Structures are given as C-alpha cells and as structure tokens.
C-alpha cells in the first residue's frame, strides 16, 4: 500500500509539534532512569523491490522486538518519538501521524503503572487542562458477551489500578467493563485509553502486556499518544 502524500506542517502548526516534542524530551532530562530508543520507520529491510517496503503503523511493537532481540532479562525504562503511518478510516488513504510513547519493561506492574500514569497525566494537564478523561478496562473484554462469560473468572484486579490512579491524579476517569475496542491480544492486567471531551477523539492508549517470542518473555506497561490530536487542541 502506497502513501500518496505526506502532511507538511507550516508556521504555527509546526511550532506546536516542536513544542510537544520539546516538552516530552524535557520530561526525561531530569529522570535519568529513562533512555530514548530510536527505531526504523521501515518494518522490513527488503529494499530491492519498492513494492515490498512496509512503513510502520506502531512503535510499541518495534520496541518489544528490539528488547527481545537484545536484552530481554533486564529492566528497561524507555521513551520514543516518531512518525507512524495509518489508514484513514474515512478515505482509506495512508496518513502520516506523529507518536510519542513510554515503555517500562520487566518491572513491578503496579510501580510501572504509577510511573506511566504520572507522565501521561502531566503531559495532558499541561496542554489540555481538564478537557480529557481516562477510561480503564479489562483487556480480556472484547464484547458484552465476553463480559458475561469471562469477567467473573478474570484475575485482573482493575479496581486496584483505579485506586492507584485516584491517589496519583485528580483527572477525570471512568470504568468500562462492558466493551473494549482497542486492546490487542498481548495486553494483560489493565488497559486504558484517554479521549478528548471536546473532540471525542481518542488521544492516548496504554496498558500492561505480556509478550513471548522464541522462548523469550517480557512483561511491561506503557502508553502512546497521538501528537496530531493534541495539536488540534492547543
């Protein structure tokens, strides 16, 4: 699938992107635990035939693959920035989007949850004030029937995560145990997303995950947010 055109940022809009990038980097300048990770915009390396070039649609998966390939036993505190390419749901064209994210790997899930919530909440409050809401859900729930069949046997203590959130933040939140549209198969323990109360768009999403490849296993918690959606609101 080809990208027909790239969005070009001008003047005030470009300044907003620069501002978001700078503030994101500044968050970690005093937090020496975190390291920045760079990943390729290409999903594959087969460049002999241009029709085989794949552009990434997400960065989290690339981070996970990198850790599994290099040092899957250690703790990792990582942040990233980069462009991803996603299909526009309206016209099916490929759209270039800016993404920021954080991944904490092989650490206590509750301590990692505290860390990622503090970072994401700080960013959102800085630029959006109170015009957003966190939604917490159980990643095993995909449909309402799943709720009836699975939630009673679920080992995920969603309320514990919510209680941690309430101690850390005064931001608005809600609990959704009826339907979950966004989590992926590798998510576990907790899944959350944030949407704008003005535009009704999803701004960020994250959660816990368990990933295994060739007998290598990692566990982590992280989030990513859509810089383009934030630019619309600031």
Is residue 142 predicted with pLDDT exceeding 90?
no
* CATH top class, domain 11-233: alpha beta
Own/partner pairs, 38-44, CB within 8 angstroms, 24+ separation: 38/80, 38/82, 39/63, 39/66, 39/80, 39/82, 41/82, 41/83
- pTM, two decimal places: 0.86
DSSP string for residues in the chain: ----------HHHHHHHHHHHHHHHHHHHS-TT-EE----SBS----SSGGG--B-S-SHHHHHHHHHHH-SSS-EEEEEEEEEEEE-TTT--EEEEEEEEEEEESS-HHHHHHHHHHHHHHHHHHHHTT-EEEEEE-TT--SHHHHHHHGGG----HHHHHHHHHHH--SEEEE--S--SS--TTEEEEEEEEEETTT--EEEEEEEEEEEETTEEEEEEEEEEEHHHHHHH-
Task: Tell me the Ramachandran region of residue 57: left when phi exceeds 0, alpha when psi lies from -120 to 50, beta otherwise.
Answer: alpha
pLDDT of residue 4: 41
Q: Is the pLDDT of residue 45 over 60?
A: no
Higher-pLDDT residue of 150, 60: 60
Residue 157 has pLDDT above 60, yes or no: yes
Q: What is the pLDDT of residue 47?
A: 53
Q: Say whether pLDDT at 105 is over 60.
A: yes
Which percentage of the chain shows pLDDT scores above 90?
A: 57
The mean predicted confidence, pLDDT, of the chain is: 85
Asked whether the beta carbons of 193 and 202 are under 8 A apart, the reply is yes
Q: Are the C-beta atoms of 222 and 103 separated by less than 8 Å?
A: yes
194-226, pLDDT tens digit by residue?
999 999 999 999 999 988 888 899 999 999 999
Query: 102-120 burial string, b = 16+ CB within 10 Å, else e?
Result: bbbbbbebbebbbbbbebb
pLDDT of residue 3: 41
- The 10s digit of each residue's pLDDT in 50-100 is 556 788 888 998 999 999 999 999 999 999 999 999 887 677 788 889 999
Give the model's pLDDT for residue 183.
61
Question: Which residue's entry shows tokens 């960065």?
Answer: 59
Distance CA 116, CA 34 (A): 12
> Average pLDDT of 154-166?
84
pLDDT level of residue 103 (50, 70, 90 thresholds):
very high
- Predicted local confidence at residue 74, as pLDDT: 95
Residue of higher predicted confidence among 61 and 5: 61
Domain residue ranges in the chain:
11-233
């Amino acid at each position: 699938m080809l990208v027909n055109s790239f969005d070009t940022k001008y003047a005030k809009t470009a300044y907003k992107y620069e501002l978001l990038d700078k503030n994101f980097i500044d968050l970690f300048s005093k937090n020496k635990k975190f390291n920045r990770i760079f990943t390729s915009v290409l999903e594959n390396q087969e460049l002999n035939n241009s029709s085989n070039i794949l552009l990434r649609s997400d960065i989290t998966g690339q981070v996970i693959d990198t850790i599994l390939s290099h040092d899957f036993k250690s703790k990792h505190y990582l942040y990233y920035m980069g462009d991803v390419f996603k299909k526009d749901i309206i016209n099916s064209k490929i759209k270039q989007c800016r993404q920021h994210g954080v991944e904490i790997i092989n650490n206590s899930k509750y301590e990692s949850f505290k860390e990622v919530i503090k970072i994401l909440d700080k960013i959102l409050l800085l630029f959006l004030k109170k015009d957003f809401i966190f939604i917490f859900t159980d990643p095993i729930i995909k449909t309402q029937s799943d709720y009836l069949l699975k939630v009673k046997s679920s080992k995920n203590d969603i309320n514990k995560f919510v209680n941690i959130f309430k101690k850390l933040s005064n931001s608005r939140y809600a609990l959704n145990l009826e339907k979950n549209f966004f989590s992926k198969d590798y998510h576990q323990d907790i899944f959350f997303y944030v949407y704008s109360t003005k535009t009704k768009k999803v701004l960020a999403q994250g959660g816990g995950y368990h990933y295994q490849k060739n007998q290598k296993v990692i566990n982590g918690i992280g989030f990513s947010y859509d810089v383009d959606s934030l630019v619309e609101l600031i």
